[in-house]
A and B are shown apart, each in its own frame.
Chain A
Amino acid sequence: MAHPTTPSPGVPGEDATRRNFLLYATSAVAVSGTALALWPFIHSMNPAADVLALSSSEVDLKPIAVGQSITVTWRGKPVFIRHRTPEEIKAAESVQLFDLRDPQPDSQRAKKPEWLVLVGVCTHLGCIPLGQKSSDPRGDFGGWFCPCHGSHYDTSGRIRKGPAPANLAVPDYTFLTDTTIRIG
Chain B
Amino acid sequence: MSAPANQNKIIKWVDDRLPIFTLMQHSAIEYPTPRNLNYWWNFGSLAGFMLVVMILSGIFLAMSYTAHVDYAFDSVERIMRDVNYGWLLRYLHMNGASMFFLTVLIHIFRGMYYGSFKAPREVLWWLGILLYLAMMATAFMGYVLPWGQMSFWGATVITNLFSAIPVVGSSIVTWLWGGFSVGNPTLNRFFAFHYLLPFVIFAIMFLHVWALHTVKSNNPLGIDVKGPQDTIPFHPYYTIKDLYGIGLFLMVYLFFVFYYPNLFGEPDNYIPANPMVTPPHIVPEWYFLPFYAILRAVPNKLLGVVMMFSAIIVLFFLPWLDTSRVRSARFRPIYKQFFWIFLADCIVLGVVGANPPEGIYVLMGQIATFWYFFHFLVLLPVLGKVEKTRPLPDSISTPVIKKSMEKA
Contact = CB atoms under 8 A, between A and B. Distances in A.
Nearest to A43: B84
Contact of B405 (A1, A41, A50): A1
Contacts of A50: 78, 82
The secondary structure that dominates the B interface is helix
B397 interface: yes
Interface in B351-408: 397, 400-401, 404-405, 407-408
Interface string B220-254: 00000000111111001000000100000000000
A45 B63 contact: yes
Interface string A39-77: 011011110111100000000000000000000000000
A35 to B, nearest CB: 14
Contacts, number: 54
Contacts of A43: 84-85
Contact of B404 (A2, A41, A45, A48): A2
A12 interface: no
B350 interface: no
B137 interface: no
Interface residues of B, number: 30
Contacts of A2: 400-401, 404
A44 B231 contact: no
Nearest to A51: B82
A50 B74 CA distance: 13
Contact of B60 (A1, A6, A44, A49): A44
Contacts of B194: none
Nearest to B405: A1
A13 interface: no
A4 interface: yes
Contacts of A41: 56-57, 60, 85, 89
A51 B84 CA distance: 11
B214 interface: no
Nearest to B408: A1
B275 to A, nearest CB: 28
A44 B89 contact: yes
A48 B82 contact: yes
Given A4-B228, A4-B229, A48 B89 contact: no
Contacts of B88: 40
B407 A1 contact: yes
Contacts of B400: 2
Given A40-B89, A43-B85, A48 B64 contact: yes
A30 interface: yes
A10 interface: no
Interface string B74-107: 0000100111111011000000000000000000
A43 B82 CA distance: 12
B84 A44 contact: yes
A40 B89 CA distance: 8
A78 to B, nearest CB: 26
A1 B403 CA distance: 10
B35 interface: yes
A44 B78 contact: no
A55 to B, nearest CB: 13
Contacts of B81: 49
A10 to B, nearest CB: 12
B99 to A, nearest CB: 16
A15 to B, nearest CB: 14
A83 B278 CA distance: 60
A6 B4 CA distance: 14
Contact of A44 (B83, B236, B243): B83
Interface string B160-193: 0000000000000000000000000000000000
B78 A40 contact: no
Contacts of A40: 84-85, 88-89
A40 B230 CA distance: 44
A78 B392 CA distance: 81
Contacts of A46: 84
B85 A4 contact: no
Contacts of A6: 233
- The 8 A-B pairs with the shortest beta carbon distances in the complex, nearest first, are A40-B85, A49-B82, A48-B82, A2-B404, A50-B82, A1-B404, A48-B83, A43-B84
Given A2-B401, A48-B82, 9 more contacts: A1-B404, A1-B407, A1-B408, A4-B231, A7-B233, A41-B89, A44-B84, A48-B78, A48-B84
30 contacts: A1-B401, A2-B400, A4-B35, A4-B228, A4-B230, A4-B232, A4-B397, A6-B233, A40-B85, A40-B88, A41-B56, A41-B57, A41-B60, A43-B84, A43-B85, A44-B60, A44-B83, A44-B85, A44-B86, A44-B89, A45-B63, A46-B84, A48-B78, A48-B82, A48-B83, A48-B84, A49-B82, A49-B83, A50-B78, A51-B82
